[in-house]
Chain A
């Protein structure tokens, strides 16, 4: 179990943040989240769709999202995920952190070598 998790950890923080972002507007089911991420990234971000689910369970356990069964527009039963208050706050913090980090990294990468 150890090594599998270690490998996933590299992506974990990022994927978690993307999921929280996808849920910011409205509650969605798993497939909807993958569709939205794909659309937003201009189809650049094409992850194995299955990897989403462990992340959803993890976020739910951490109390960042909650879920319930609902009926879709065309009358199908699906599990909908929604941000909790804690999740919303967490996302804001994470986003700020990410912005700081990426700005710093960009600065470093863009620095002219002259």
Chain B
């Protein structure tokens, strides 16, 4: 304990000059007072005495400055001397230096690589002015779930709240065919309301924003485009006379946003929301709302007001708002919410790996101290104080960690590039991630901490007493060795414990992954090709039915291609590429109950009882066969369900259970005008099995499938089931091009689509497993090193025991036993820590609990087996010790 407080004191005076300043001030004051008093005793008047004292002293400031010079000079001089000496020491032990540097580089590299992800994705402010003032506003349903906003609700918020200086709604269309410039492409664009660019605080870099006369119903279509689209598609050409055909409508491009502006994420163009008529349904949640907080209004205040206004609205409009409450969430938090748990878990894992690397190097240092005792003792004897030795150790540690940081930063840069390349779009903002200044500063900070920890650990174990004793040249002092041995044992236990934590995390993720692979998503996941086709969106009924006719013709042609077993289409393919819209439908008493929204309004209080929630899907009958989704009851669409026939729907089993428990849904009528604006009644004719959309871990949602000929969708995915997908992909592409050469096509295999949904999980699993394996390697090396050292230390004892007739088995147990005891202690501590820590990754798990006994037991067994194997080498060497040689070796 004494040595710790000594160290702390030394450290405090080492780098800080404020102590020196105070000391100097006190000393000079005392000196002047003494001289003044002496002068007064000699008969001077007080004022004169003081003046004379100052005169005798010389300029106080210049004296202080000379003292400071001495101080600074000393620091620099010492620092360089320590570094030079440290370099010599390390080059004399190149093996130690290399192993230490590589071990630390691994830890620093891992931490830096993951930190660069954390920095780029979570920490770096969004590229907008005062980004922390921008918030997303959500409606909350009764369960607190965040939902999109309906336009009347948005209008009320805007009129009745005062905490926001601007507020705008956006509606992103993810797949829009755009032609103009080069070949037609499918990209994303957003309709944005009047104050959108005020909220974001960004104006076009080229051209202008929207004019008021462009922001009203029936105005000539205009668009602002992204810098990326402008340079890649229009070659950066002047905007005049370059209209874009967006969704079959010519738009005059009036402006280009600055480079890097892409909100909503992925948007390549923006159009005025106001050119389309206002939406009057409070239950049509079609908009995302962003707002900028007013100056001096804290988020909590704005949130409170928004919440109060929303609850008042619920009071006025009842359940028709489908809104229990509302919330404002910082935009950055909202954008990164999904990536956060994974990144935080990865960062934790990387930090643990770094700690293990540090423990390992400390262990090496301690082993080496034994061989350096004479040198250190000599230096102390010739007058080097504790502080000098400490500084020397710190300098050596600093050299090691500086070298490790250089190597580690290189590893991190390569690692980040690999991660960015391997991570297919499931993490936002990843394109801007890299090893930049902030990240390097982090790496240097980590390196400095590492150096400090290493240096301190070393000095703390090198007691003055011990060094004096070893200078005397006597046999190794048992007390010092015992103490150091205990510390080394502690380090090994800590390493094993942290390794267990990492491996437990990795194995929980692995078991989740296996569980996930075993989930039946409810549809085929191999032997199929998917064609994503986007026709121009149109509100015009005739245009939409032309799209349906095209699709019908295409399905007919594809069905007869060789190798195609079945073919069908759907608007939202379960494995990505759709919009997955979800809304409220109303059950009707008869097919023609509602002719207008006024009729809908008339049912009043009945609305709640009649309402249901479902995903809006449009499909062909062949889709269910092609995807292997079985029909459970009733029928699928058939030839009789043409555009002019009564509209029909097939629902998923979970919708049947949720809306009509213990009742027969077949033959009932619903209207789904919220989704497609059509109030016409839909008769339910069949029930199909559930599917898990987007990822196998999703809970199967209630779905309502409509016939594509009756409710055409311009954006569809065509599924072709085939045992020869590669060949079918080729012929299918040709078939589409024959029918419409201007149709942009994307073709993917269903295996790739599934893989994409799993890739984020596979990636974090891989990284954590990698960290875990590295940790296990380091911990094993640590135990191996310690046991080897013990064998060397105890060669004599082993010799004596064998001479006295000990069996080989006894010796092996003696030696390996120590390693195993340490490992067991580490395993127990690690399992204990894991019990607490794995809860933090609960959100990343699937199908296993955070305390899954199989994962815990498996990790404990694997670790013990590996450690036992590591102890065997030294133990076998021990039993080969010749008793005679051992006895004469000392």
Task: Please give the residue numbers on chain A whose beta carbons come within 8 Å of chain B beta carbons, in ascending order.
Answer: 1, 4-5, 8, 29-31, 34, 48-51, 53-54, 57-58, 61, 63, 76-79, 84, 86
- What is the CA–CA distance of A61 and B13 in the complex, to the nearest angstrom? 12
- What is the CA–CA distance of A49 and B38 in the complex, to the nearest angstrom? 14
- What is the CA–CA distance of A51 and B58 in the complex, to the nearest angstrom? 8
Which chain B residues lie closer than 8 Å to A31 at the CB level? 30-31, 34-35
Which chain A residues lie closer than 8 Å to B24 at the CB level? 53
18 contacts between A and B (CB under 8 A): A1-B73, A4-B66, A4-B69, A5-B69, A29-B27, A30-B31, A31-B31, A31-B34, A48-B56, A48-B57, A49-B35, A51-B58, A57-B70, A57-B71, A61-B70, A63-B383, A76-B30, A79-B23
Q: Which of B33, B59, B60, B66 has the most CB of A within 10 A?
A: B66
Answer yes or no: B62 CB below 8 A from chain A CBs.
Answer: yes
Which chain A residues lie closer than 8 Å to B30 at the CB level? 29-31, 76-79
| A77-B26, A79-B23, A79-B26 known; A50-B59 Cβ under 8 A | yes
Specify the main secondary structure of chain A where it touches its partner.
helix
- What is the CA–CA distance of A60 and B458 in the complex, to the nearest angstrom? 26
Which chain B residues lie closer than 8 Å to A84 at the CB level? 383
Answer yes or no: B67 CB below 8 A from chain A CBs.
Answer: yes
| A4-B69, A8-B66 known; A50-B35 Cβ under 8 A | no
- What is the CA–CA distance of A59 and B79 in the complex, to the nearest angstrom? 18
Answer yes or no: B63 CB below 8 A from chain A CBs.
Answer: yes
Which chain A residues lie closer than 8 Å to B28 at the CB level? 50, 53
Contact with A along B60-85 (1 / 0, CB 8 A): 10110011011101100000000000
Besides A30-B30, A53-B67, A78-B30, 13 more A-B contacts (Cβ < 8 Å) are A4-B66, A5-B69, A5-B73, A29-B31, A48-B56, A50-B59, A53-B63, A54-B67, A54-B69, A58-B70, A63-B383, A79-B23, A79-B30
Answer yes or no: B385 CB below 8 A from chain A CBs.
Answer: yes
Q: Which residue of the partner chain B has the closest CB to A66?
A: B385
B67 touches A86 (CB 8 A): no
- Which of B27, B56, B383 contacts A30, CB < 8 Å? B27
A86 touches B27 (CB 8 A): no
- What is the CA–CA distance of A1 and B66 in the complex, to the nearest angstrom? 9
Contact with A along B373-417 (1 / 0, CB 8 A): 000000000011100000000000000000000000000000000
A50 touches B62 (CB 8 A): yes
- What is the CA–CA distance of A57 and B67 in the complex, to the nearest angstrom? 7
- What is the CA–CA distance of A73 and B66 in the complex, to the nearest angstrom? 30
| A31-B34, A49-B31 known; A54-B66 Cβ under 8 A | yes
Which chain B residues lie closer than 8 Å to A4 at the CB level? 66, 69
Which 7 A/B pairs are nearest by Cβ-Cβ distance?
Answer: A50-B63, A48-B58, A50-B58, A54-B66, A31-B34, A31-B31, A86-B383
Which chain A residues lie closer than 8 Å to B60 at the CB level? 50
- What is the CA–CA distance of A30 and B67 in the complex, to the nearest angstrom? 14
- What is the CA–CA distance of A45 and B83 in the complex, to the nearest angstrom? 42
CB distance from B63 to the nearest CB of A (A): 3
CB distance from B270 to the nearest CB of A (A): 61
Which chain A residues lie closer than 8 Å to B71 at the CB level? 57
Contact with A along B616-635 (1 / 0, CB 8 A): 00000000000000000000
- What is the CA–CA distance of A82 and B57 in the complex, to the nearest angstrom? 22
- Which of B23, B63, B74 contacts A51, CB < 8 Å? B63
- What is the CA–CA distance of A48 and B59 in the complex, to the nearest angstrom? 9
Which chain A residues lie closer than 8 Å to B63 at the CB level? 50-51, 53-54
CB distance from B559 to the nearest CB of A (A): 90
Which chain A residues lie closer than 8 Å to B67 at the CB level? 53-54, 57
Which chain B residues lie closer than 8 Å to A61 at the CB level? 70, 74
Which chain A residues lie closer than 8 Å to B35 at the CB level? 31, 49
- What is the CA–CA distance of A31 and B30 in the complex, to the nearest angstrom? 8
Interface residues in B633-684 (C-beta closer than 8 Å to A): none
Q: Which of A49, A76, A77, A79 has the most CB of B within 10 A?
A: A49
CB distance from B621 to the nearest CB of A (A): 90
- What is the CA–CA distance of A51 and B66 in the complex, to the nearest angstrom? 8
Interface residues in B443-494 (C-beta closer than 8 Å to A): none
- Which of B69, B384, B385 contacts A1, CB < 8 Å? B69
Q: Which residue of the partner chain A has the closest CB to B75?
A: A61
Which chain A residues lie closer than 8 Å to B57 at the CB level? 48-50
Contact with A along B1-37 (1 / 0, CB 8 A): 0000000000000000000000110111011011100
Q: Which residue of the partner chain A has the closest CB to B38?
A: A35
CB distance from B21 to the nearest CB of A (A): 12
B69 touches A53 (CB 8 A): no
A79 touches B383 (CB 8 A): no
- What is the CA–CA distance of A4 and B24 in the complex, to the nearest angstrom? 20
Which chain A residues lie closer than 8 Å to B34 at the CB level? 31
- What is the CA–CA distance of A34 and B53 in the complex, to the nearest angstrom? 12
CB distance from A91 to the nearest CB of B (A): 14
Which chain B residues lie closer than 8 Å to A51 at the CB level? 58, 63, 66
CB distance from B858 to the nearest CB of A (A): 58
- What is the CA–CA distance of A51 and B70 in the complex, to the nearest angstrom? 12
Q: Which of A51, A77, A86 has the most CB of B within 10 A?
A: A51
Which chain A residues lie closer than 8 Å to B62 at the CB level? 50
Which chain B residues lie closer than 8 Å to A77 at the CB level? 26, 30
Which chain A residues lie closer than 8 Å to B74 at the CB level? 58, 61
Q: Which residue of the partner chain B has the closest CB to A58?
A: B70
B70 touches A79 (CB 8 A): no
Which chain A residues lie closer than 8 Å to B59 at the CB level? 50
Interface residues in B105-133 (C-beta closer than 8 Å to A): none
CB distance from B845 to the nearest CB of A (A): 59
- What is the CA–CA distance of A54 and B66 in the complex, to the nearest angstrom? 6
- What is the CA–CA distance of A77 and B71 in the complex, to the nearest angstrom? 23
Which chain B residues lie closer than 8 Å to A50 at the CB level? 28, 57-60, 62-63
Which chain B residues lie closer than 8 Å to A49 at the CB level? 31, 35, 56-58
CB distance from A39 to the nearest CB of B (A): 12
- What is the CA–CA distance of A78 and B62 in the complex, to the nearest angstrom? 21
- What is the CA–CA distance of A49 and B63 in the complex, to the nearest angstrom? 9
- What is the CA–CA distance of A33 and B88 in the complex, to the nearest angstrom? 42
- What is the CA–CA distance of A8 and B65 in the complex, to the nearest angstrom? 13
- What is the CA–CA distance of A61 and B384 in the complex, to the nearest angstrom? 11
| A31-B34, A49-B56, A51-B63 known; A79-B27 Cβ under 8 A | yes
- What is the CA–CA distance of A84 and B384 in the complex, to the nearest angstrom? 12
Which chain A residues lie closer than 8 Å to B56 at the CB level? 48-49
Which chain B residues lie closer than 8 Å to A76 at the CB level? 30, 33
Which chain A residues lie closer than 8 Å to B23 at the CB level? 79
CB distance from A67 to the nearest CB of B (A): 9
Which chain A residues lie closer than 8 Å to B58 at the CB level? 48-51
Contact with A along B423-447 (1 / 0, CB 8 A): 0000000000000000000000000
Which chain B residues lie closer than 8 Å to A29 at the CB level? 27, 30-31
CB distance from A54 to the nearest CB of B (A): 4
- What is the CA–CA distance of A8 and B58 in the complex, to the nearest angstrom? 15
- What is the CA–CA distance of A23 and B56 in the complex, to the nearest angstrom? 21
CB distance from B60 to the nearest CB of A (A): 7
- What is the CA–CA distance of A50 and B32 in the complex, to the nearest angstrom? 10
CB distance from A78 to the nearest CB of B (A): 5
Which chain B residues lie closer than 8 Å to A54 at the CB level? 63, 66-67, 69-70
Which chain A residues lie closer than 8 Å to B69 at the CB level? 1, 4-5, 54
CB distance from A48 to the nearest CB of B (A): 4
Q: Which residue of the partner chain A has the closest CB to B55?
A: A48
CB distance from B29 to the nearest CB of A (A): 10
CB distance from A88 to the nearest CB of B (A): 12
- What is the CA–CA distance of A63 and B62 in the complex, to the nearest angstrom? 25
- What is the CA–CA distance of A51 and B30 in the complex, to the nearest angstrom? 15
Which chain B residues lie closer than 8 Å to A34 at the CB level? 31
Which chain A residues lie closer than 8 Å to B31 at the CB level? 29-31, 34, 49
- What is the CA–CA distance of A7 and B159 in the complex, to the nearest angstrom? 79
- What is the CA–CA distance of A1 and B68 in the complex, to the nearest angstrom? 11
A63 touches B385 (CB 8 A): yes
- What is the CA–CA distance of A50 and B384 in the complex, to the nearest angstrom? 29
- What is the CA–CA distance of A49 and B60 in the complex, to the nearest angstrom? 10
- What is the CA–CA distance of A43 and B591 in the complex, to the nearest angstrom? 122
- What is the CA–CA distance of A40 and B26 in the complex, to the nearest angstrom? 27
